[in-house]
Amino acid sequence: MRRMKRPPDQEYLAVIGAGVMGTSITAMALGHSVDVVLIDKDASQLDRARRQISQQLRHGRLLSQFPSDLPAGQLETSTEIDMAGTTIAVIESITENGDLKRVLLRQVSDHVRPGTPLISNTSSIPIDELAQGLPRPEDVAGVHFMNPAYLIKMVEVIRGPRTAQTTMERVKSLLKALDRQVIVVNDNPGFVTSRLLHPMLNDAARLAHAGVATVESIDSLMTGCLGHPVGPLRTADLIGLDNLVDSLEALYERTGEEHFRPCDMLLDKVKTGHLGRKTGRGFYEYQGG
């Protein structure tokens, strides 16, 4: 992929990992007039992301999620960790695997100025584990965006035990520019949202598998009786079942709690490649993306 030389004063946000989350985080930032360099090792994934981002920008505009008086930010993509210019922050949204994330963050920290926030969009892995072995663990913080990031305004921000106050302030000022609502929590496997949500999604799949109720009935009960917006199994499809299994495994490993152990139905769906909305089939079937 071509490499453009960015002038040293050009400010941008770097997003690493062009999967479901990296893509929608990028669309959200562009919609708020922030320039983004989106990085992924796979060039075809970047092509796909470009197409999705332009649709997501339209979607966000349709739903009045972006300021109408600002032009969209500029998007650049790269297959290399290219941090020329001024990186205001790095957001990593690669596969939910602690070792991969740690290696990546170590590489990235060699390319950015000290004090540049290194943000992980992990849904489950403790931030302090990701900061382990980095030259500047104080630069690392967690921002757990929800999917789709350009529609859900609230984000869960995680302060690790070693995260510096200046890092927290920089992260908050970035999120303010992106018009996000911030709730700060302390470090812990799964933080608050995944810690509470993921076992429920896992149990919902168990109930469907055991034949207690159909997929549709489970979601209908949770929406109709309990006020959930779409129901647990539709949520699981939206998250991506591969990612859900990775997160559950990360939580199970770190807590030993049985309700985090991914159930057979989830594992089977992942094995057969039915990963939810992104592949057109999970607990439900989807047409037209």
Q: Which residues bind another protein (CB under 8 A)?
A: 55, 58-59, 61-64, 148, 151, 230, 288-289
Q: Which is nearer to another protein, 111 or 286 (CB)?
A: 286
CA quadruple 140, 146, 150, 156: dihedral sign? negative
3 state SS of 47: helix
Q: Which is nearer to another protein, 98 or 240 (CB)?
A: 240
Q: Which is nearer to another protein, 61 or 259 (CB)?
A: 61
Residue 237 Cβ, how far from another protein at the closest point, in Å? 11
Q: Which is nearer to another protein, 56 or 78 (CB)?
A: 56
Residue 61 Cβ, how far from another protein at the closest point, in Å? 5
> Closest Cα partner for 66 from 183, 182, 178?
178
Q: How many CB atoms lie within 10 A of CB 30?
A: 25
Q: Which is nearer to another protein, 145 or 252 (CB)?
A: 145
Residue by residue, DSSP assigns 101-170 as: HHHHHHHHHTTS-TT--EEE--SSS-HHHHHTT-S-GGGEEEEEPPSSTTT--EEEEEE-TT--HHHHHH
CA quadruple 72, 239, 234, 152: dihedral sign? negative
Eight-class DSSP state of 285:
B
Contact 216, 278 (CB under 8 A): no
